[in-house]
Amino acid sequence: MKPQTINLLRDLNRMFYDTFADAFDASRARTEPGLMRILPEIAPGSHVLDLGCGQGRLAALLPPGCTYIGVDNSKAMLALARKNVERQSLDLETNFTALDLTDSSWTAEVPEPFDWIVMRAVLHHIPAYAHRCRLLRQTATLLKADGRILVANWQFLEIQRLQRRVLPWSEIGLKPTDIEPGDYLLDWKRDGYGRRYVHLIEESETQALAREADLDVRDMFRADGHTNNLTLYAILSSVIKEAED
């Protein structure tokens, strides 16, 4: 994928979330069944990094004593996240930072290491397979030796209603040859009209991305939505390498 196409898609998503931050926040529940299945594994006092934190929902779900850092490239979503956290009396330290995860220098702005890094609905907004690989490899370097990465990606083609939201690339001046297999443009019609770039990350790509980042897939399952398959969750950990004789 050409750099100018990557920049166009990145800017499209940033503009979408800046424009529809309030409507997007209102459209989301407090949490999802798949996330609730994993939360008990996060111990009190853990250091947690939330990449693509959006409106900061995860902060309110963490156990006491955690240190939480939320990262997003939408200033409007970060403003909502700060407001949402301020409204609640949370027993944890929180910090929100504006960072562009498509910029390879982003890790320099984040302290390390972390017990948990959450990438919920973020990898599928990163244009180009090579850039998703790079992002996951960088994320892996921020983990503690026994840390975990939670990756969760939208399986929108499983739902007929969401299939109808797919738009032709000509809407934003692109041709199908400009993008990669699995790339989609979706509409938004709540409080206005918007468009988002989303890449469909299924089981095979999740496995491939994990291998590229030298990570083990400890668990993978689908959950959420009326049909319980709207989101693909994967828990990843660093590969344990045996010492050479």
Q: Angle 3-19/75-86 helices, nearest 10 degrees? A: 40
Question: Taking the model in full, what pTM does it have?
Answer: 0.93
Low-confidence ranges of the chain (pLDDT < 70): 240-245
Which tens digits make up the pLDDT trace of 77-106?
999 999 988 888 788 889 999 999 999 999
pLDDT digits (tens, 9 = 90+) for 37-66: 999 999 999 999 999 999 999 999 999 999
Q: Which domains does the chain have, with CATH numbers?
A: 3-161+201-238 (3.40.50.150)
